[in-house]
Structure 1
């Protein structure tokens, strides 16, 4: 999953990314059009500054959950994401996400950052 995310979101290598995503990919995100093409088209529409960073990854059976940050998308705040992926035949087959704008130190009720050990600049 981490190699797939790096290939698509950071390297923007769409041909290589096709090896990781099923051609029958099911997309449950409210922010992304259906299928692999919907995801790839979304990434194509975003600035080249888009970056994905991972902090934590958990796997059980054919499901993986990655806690990460999507920054450089042109939005006012980075998105902190919990991406849930189901694998089938070694490829990303289905996806759900939970997204939240990254809080600054002034916005954080807990006084702790949402990602890593520092607040965004």
Structure 2
């Protein structure tokens, strides 16, 4: 029995994010992102090149950690953490990606600064099972 479309899409997004954000292998990343990639994020220039240029301009310390991932039809949502961004706080992200023809075709995100334990009214971390160092 083969993998479901949703399972394949989740694996695709995780590999794409790791290739671009952690490995910074731009040539390999081109095979994951559509040449007609549509970017809805307010802080990223249009298209695949806008995203790639953002990462090229980010500190070498940038790291992406995926957390919960869900998929339905051609959409994948990943709850993750961006650290080493050069900003005072890590970013917790919910990235929504639309897959078309086996590549990432469209993207939306919701970003939030990660709260420290002393700031968390719930007493729980925003990502994973422990607070960031």
Same fold, judged at TM 0.5 (above)? yes
Q: Distance in 2 between matches of 1:53 and 1:120?
A: 12
How many residue pairs end up in the alignment?
121
Cross-structure match for 1:73? 85
Q: 2:128 aligned with 1:108, yes or no?
A: no
Q: Which runs of 5+ in 2 are unaligned?
A: 1-12
Equivalent residue number for residue 47 of structure 1:
59
Shift of 1:120: 1.4
In the TM superposition, what is the alpha-carbon distance from 1:54 to its structure 2 partner? 0.6
Match 1:94 to one of 103, 106, 109:
106
Runs of 4+ aligned residues of structure 1 deviating over 2 Å after TM superposition are none
* Unmatched 5+ stretches in structure 1: none
* Structure showing the higher helix proportion among its residues: 2
**Alpha-carbon RMSD:** 0.4
1:40 match: secondary structure: helix
Could you say which residue in structure 2 is the equivalent of 1:83? 95
